[in-house]
Amino acid sequence: MIREALGVAGTGLLIVFLTLILLSLSVKLMSFVIRSTTKKGGK
């Protein structure tokens, strides 16, 4: 049971971090693309 719990907790924490890191990078990319295209449009 302890081993199973360890697996669940380790995998869970890893997925939480991975998901939020990827979301963070995606948001950064989204902002970069939108801001650079908006600037070009402004020019």
Partner 1 sequence: MQLLNVLYEIFLKTGIPHLDYRYVIMWLIGCLFMYLAIKKDFEPLLLVPIGFSIFLVNMPIAPLTGPGQLINLFFKYGLETEIIPCLIFLGIGALTDFGPMIANPKTLLLGAAAQLGVYVAFFGSIFFGFTIKEAASIGIIGGADGPTTIYLASALAPHMMGMVAVAAYSYMAMVPLIQPPIMKLLTSEAERKIRMKQLRSVSKTEKIIFPLVATVVICLLTPDAAPLMGLLMVGNLFRECKVVDRLLKTAQNDLLNIVTIVLGLAVGSTMKAEVFLSPKPLFIFLLGLIAFAFSTVGGLIFAKIMNLFLKEKINPLIGSAGVSAVPMAARVSQKVGQEADPKNFLLMHAMGPNVAGVIGTAVAAGTFLAMLK
- Our CB check for partner 1 shows the closer of 30 and 43 to be 30
Site string for partner 1, 1-20 (x = CB under 8 A): xx-xx--xx-xxx-xxxxxx
- Which amino acid appears at position 35 of this protein? R
Is 36 a binding residue for partner 1 by CB under 8 A? The answer is no
Question: DSSP readout, 1-43?
Answer: -HHHHHHHHHHHHHHHHHHHHHHHHHHHHHHHHHHHHHHHHH-
- The count of chain residues that interact with partner 1, using the rule CB under 8 A, is 28
Binding site for partner 1 (CB under 8 A): 1-2, 4-5, 8-9, 11-13, 15-28, 30-31, 34-35, 38
